[in-house]
Amino acid sequence: MRIESEGIINGKILDKYGKRGRDFRFGMPTLSLPLHIYDSPMGTRCYAIVMEDPDSVKVCGKVWIHWLVANLFSPDVEEDSSSNAANYIQGINSWRDNSYGGPCPPDSPHTYVITCYALSEPLDLRGGFDKQMLEESMQGKVLDTAKLLGVYDN
């Protein structure tokens, strides 16, 4: 299984998906990345996606969660779909918002990790779940995973 995005070129997240973009709400970049999932295993019924910034630990003492998606029933996520998520539910990011929050590295370029999980069945979650709830609900349902890395300059 693999995950790709035309919003990440040569390993770099395009400016418009983060702090140098034009779409903001309460100081948080909101134009979500387009994603495409390929070669899912047989039996995949839906997907979950986690976008996080492990480099944020050195700045704020924790991994910053940028996007949590569950019960995605399509292998394609359109650009800016977070603003009106119709075919998936979203969890709480580190801004405490139920949506995509784009890259905003304050100190140096950060590498963002997007992990996609192919799932054997939909998850029993409602919008506003956190990462721990997502991980617990996926136990025993993950068929495969794929990671996509993207750097965003400060």
Domain boundaries along the sequence of the chain = 2-152
**Rounded to an integer, what distance in angstroms lies between the CA atom of residue 98 and that of residue 127?**
7
- pLDDT at residue 58 in the model: 94
- pLDDT at residue 118 in the model: 98
- pLDDT at residue 17 in the model: 95
φ, ψ dihedrals at 132, nearest 5°: -60, -40
Q: What stretches in the chain show pLDDT beneath 50?
A: none
Contact 143, 48 (CB under 8 A): no
- pLDDT at residue 96 in the model: 94
pTM for the whole structure: 0.96
**Rounded to an integer, what distance in angstroms lies between the CA atom of residue 47 and that of residue 117?**
5
DSSP label at 34?
P
Q: Which two tokens stand for residue 22?
A: 């034009």
φ, ψ dihedrals at 14, nearest 5°: -60, 145
- pLDDT at residue 40 in the model: 98
Tens digits of residue pLDDT in 98-113: 999 999 999 999 999 9
Domain covering 2-152: architecture: Alpha-Beta Complex (3.90)
